[in-house]
């Protein structure tokens, strides 16, 4: 078993641990009700207004942990529990997604870079997996196929790396706003910070996993081509 393949397995196991802890944390902090009595929707709308952002809508989206900011139509999409509930977990997620809206409004460099990478990642995701699989079986005869697959997959790797500062900055903006505007108590702030910390780690795992996978394919290309 190659070292890069073993690394993929280790990171995969760590990813499962992080996902489990994330769900556990959100379940725990969903029981910590906010003293201000505001819902996730109301917190999001207030954070947008406090940052003079009036062209972004806060809407509800189905599912759990499906929250995201869409820069194309300028919407903060909150999962149903976050949208309507009034707890520390909802406050953390709602303010984090609004952090992305603030990044967009302020032309945050890392967010702009990630947005520019989206078309390339869309193309690479369609063809990279096929080229990588076919390339492995034909590497001795046609090493160019595997190499092309590696290049396309590298675009995805770059995207996951660029995503890290975007996500961490959004969380920092969220926590700073919650504190500055006295939106939460000290206990609620600590809960929101802990929840966002574990959420951010899922992006770290994704980046590490993509890097390890890229190294795995590069190793195959180097040893067999």
| Catalytically active residues, by annotation | 97
Q: Distance from first CA to last CA of the chain, Å, rounded?
A: 19
User: Contact, 76 vs 44, CB < 8 A?
Assistant: yes
> How many CA within 13 A on the CB side of residue 153?
24
Q: Which single residue is written with the structure tokens 């977990």? A: 89
Phi-psi region of 184 (alpha: psi -120 to 50; beta: other; left: phi over 0): beta
C-alpha 141: how far from chain center: 39
Distance CA 36, CA 182 (A): 9
Closest CA to 32 of 122, 101, 92, 77: 92
Handedness of CA 114, 119, 124, 126 (dihedral sign): positive
* Burial group, residue 64, by CB count within 10 angstroms (0-12, 13-18, 19+): exposed
User: Contact, 58 vs 101, CB < 8 A?
Assistant: no
């Amino acid at each position: 078993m190659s070292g890069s393949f073993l690394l993929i397995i280790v990171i995969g196991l760590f990813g499962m641990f992080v996902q489990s802890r994330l769900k556990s944390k959100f379940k725990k902090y969903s029981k910590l009700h906010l003293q201000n009595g505001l819902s996730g929707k109301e917190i999001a709308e207030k954070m947008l207004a406090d940052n003079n952002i009036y062209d972004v809508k806060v809407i509800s989206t189905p599912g759990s942990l499906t929250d995201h900011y869409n820069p194309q139509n300028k919407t903060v999409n909150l999962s149903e529990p976050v949208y309507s509930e009034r707890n520390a977990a909802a406050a953390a997620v709602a303010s984090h997604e609004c952090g992305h809206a603030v990044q967009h409004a302020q032309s945050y460099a890392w967010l702009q870079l990630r947005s520019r990478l989206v078309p390339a990642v869309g193309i690479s995701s369609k063809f990279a997996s096929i080229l990588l699989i076919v390339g492995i079986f034909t590497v001795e005869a046609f090493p160019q196929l595997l190499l092309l697959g590696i290049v396309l997959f590298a675009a995805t790797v770059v995207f996951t790396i660029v995503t890290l500062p975007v996500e961490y900055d959004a969380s920092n903006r969220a926590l700073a706003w919650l504190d500055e505007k006295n939106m939460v108590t000290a206990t609620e702030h600590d809960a929101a910070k802990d929840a966002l910390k574990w959420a951010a780690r899922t992006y770290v795992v994704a980046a590490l996993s993509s890097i390890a996978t890229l190294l795995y394919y590069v190793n195959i290309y180097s040893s067999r081509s």
